């Protein structure tokens, strides 16, 4: 049976049926509420209403199977889902999952990792629930993640290679059993390319004569050409051709492990692979390139992201004005 109740925002419908979770939805107009109630009752009667069965963990497993493989960072997302499935929150039935569960998970996670990592977990849960509601015909009243405040973003890291760290890092990378780690790190320092861009780089997109590498798809959705220094060209020329066509035939998971071991061998702490992008970007400014030139190389769409790399002096600006 269904009931329609007048509420502040309009009308609230409740459809109750034995062996089905109560279906609730709000509408501005009573006519819309009545139509939805009738349609929902028909769907229940004919067995075409798909309810949220199983746990959050079951949903995440389906998401990993059907959605994750199409993503560029599929192996990293698959690992994140595995970690989520080991958490208590994955055992909660979808029909019982509430915002206070999400908030509790957020607060516990923040004790272990920083805000950005926690936000990625919440976004993954939210994406899976939205997919279920919009495309898998799974009826949920709402997405509980949308009701919870996201944690604040991390402060931008400004970690640079210090003293002899670059020499120690490269020496350690050269000791790796994987022949692609050292050249990847060297090219990262020379080009400021992101990890995903390096791993997605294909040999057919290297234009050695023009000293450029073409990236057909980047993090911000645009393509770009990256200029290659003499050192980068020499490094790339020395690489053997892999049957896959990839310049660096490594998975993100494998690279993460190789990087961690290299840093430990070198005795270097608190250095992320992404810090090499910061290092390379800083060096571009130190070479005298302006902010527009640097953004063309690094692919930063928001110039505000680059402002922390440069400090304009009034005296220098006066000289440019003439």
Q: What is the pLDDT along the chain (322 residues), one digit of tens a residue?
A: 788 888 888 888 888 776 566 677 788 888 888 888 888 787 777 665 555 557 888 889 889 889 998 887 788 888 889 999 999 998 888 888 899 999 999 999 988 888 888 899 999 999 999 998 888 877 777 899 999 998 887 676 778 888 899 999 999 999 999 999 999 999 999 999 988 889 988 999 888 888 888 888 766 667 788 889 899 999 988 888 889 889 999 988 899 999 999 999 999 998 999 999 989 988 888 888 888 888 888 887 777 777 766 554 555 556 666 6
Coil, strand, or helix at residue 224? strand
**CATH number assigned to the domain comprising residue 288:** 1.10.443.10
Q: Are residues 213 and 280 in the same domain?
A: yes
Q: CA-to-CA distance for 5 and 18, rounded, in angstroms?
A: 21
Q: CA-to-CA distance for 322 and 317, rounded, in angstroms?
A: 9
Q: Which helix (H) or strand (E) holds 166?
A: helix 165-174
Q: CA-to-CA distance for 261 and 122, rounded, in angstroms?
A: 29
Q: How many domains does the chain have?
A: 3
Q: Are residues 202 and 104 in the same domain?
A: no
- 74 inside domain: yes
Report yes or no: 245 and 139 within 8 Å, Cβ to Cβ: no
Q: Are residues 142 and 113 in the same domain?
A: yes
Which range of residues forms the domain containing residue 139? 56-147
Q: Are residues 279 and 229 in the same domain?
A: yes
**CATH number assigned to the domain comprising residue 119:** 1.10.150
pLDDT recorded at residue 253:
86
Q: Are residues 199 and 101 in the same domain?
A: no
Q: CA-to-CA distance for 8 and 2, rounded, in angstroms?
A: 19
Last residue of a domain, one of 90, 116, 147: 147
CA–chain centroid gap for 201, Å, is 18
pLDDT recorded at residue 106:
93
Q: Are residues 143 and 209 in the same domain?
A: no
Tokens of 269: 């702490």
pLDDT recorded at residue 286:
82
CA–chain centroid gap for 67, Å, is 14
Q: Are residues 304 and 173 in the same domain?
A: yes
pLDDT recorded at residue 300:
79
Q: Are residues 143 and 189 in the same domain?
A: no
Q: CA-to-CA distance for 206 and 183, rounded, in angstroms?
A: 15
pLDDT recorded at residue 315:
58
Half-sphere exposure of 42 (CA within 13 A, CB side): 6
pLDDT recorded at residue 295:
84
- 160 inside domain: no
Q: CA-to-CA distance for 201 and 216, rounded, in angstroms?
A: 9
Q: Are residues 17 and 66 in the same domain?
A: no
pLDDT recorded at residue 171:
95
- 157 inside domain: no
Q: Are residues 219 and 93 in the same domain?
A: no
Q: Are residues 237 and 133 in the same domain?
A: no
- 320 inside domain: no
- 158 inside domain: no
pLDDT recorded at residue 258:
94
- 299 inside domain: yes
Catalytic machinery residues: 194, 219, 274, 277, 300, 309
């Amino acid at each position: 049976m269904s009931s329609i109740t007048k509420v502040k925002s309009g009308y609230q419908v409740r459809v109750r049926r034995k062996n089905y979770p109560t279906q609730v939805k709000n509408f501005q107009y009573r006519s819309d509420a009545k139509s939805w109630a009738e349609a929902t009752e028909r769907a229940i009667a004919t067995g075409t209403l798909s309810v949220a069965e199983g746990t959050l963990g079951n949903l995440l497993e389906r998401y990993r199977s059907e959605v994750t493989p199409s993503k560029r960072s599929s192996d990293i997302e698959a690992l994140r889902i595995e970690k989520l499935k080991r958490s208590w929150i994955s055992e909660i039935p979808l029909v019982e999952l509430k915002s206070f569960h999400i908030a509790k998970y957020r607060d516990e996670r923040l004790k272990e990792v920083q805000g950005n990592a926690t936000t990625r977990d919440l976004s993954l849960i939210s994406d899976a629930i939205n997919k279920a509601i919009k495309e898998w015909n799974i009826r949920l009243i709402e997405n509980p993640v949308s009701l919870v405040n996201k944690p604040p973003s991390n402060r931008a890291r400004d970690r640079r290679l210090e003293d002899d760290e670059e020499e120690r890092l490269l020496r350690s990378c050269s000791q790796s059993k994987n022949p692609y780690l050292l050249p990847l790190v060297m090219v990262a320092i020379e080009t400021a390319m992101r990890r995903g861009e390096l791993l997605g780089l294909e040999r057919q997109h290297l234009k050695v004569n023009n000293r450029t590498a073409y990236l057909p798809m980047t993090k911000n959705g645009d393509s770009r050409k990256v200029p290659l220094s003499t050192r980068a060209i020499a490094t790339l020329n020395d690489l053997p051709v892999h049957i896959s066509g990839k310049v660096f035939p490594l998975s993100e998971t494998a690279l993460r492990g190789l990087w961690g071991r290299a840093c430990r061998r070198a005795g270097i702490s608190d250095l992320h692979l992404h810090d090499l992008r910061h290092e390379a970007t800083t060096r571009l400014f130190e070479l005298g390139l302006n902010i527009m030139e640097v953004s063309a190389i690094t692919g930063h769409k928001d110039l505000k992201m680059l402002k922390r790399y440069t400090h304009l002096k009034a005296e220098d600006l006066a000289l440019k004005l003439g």
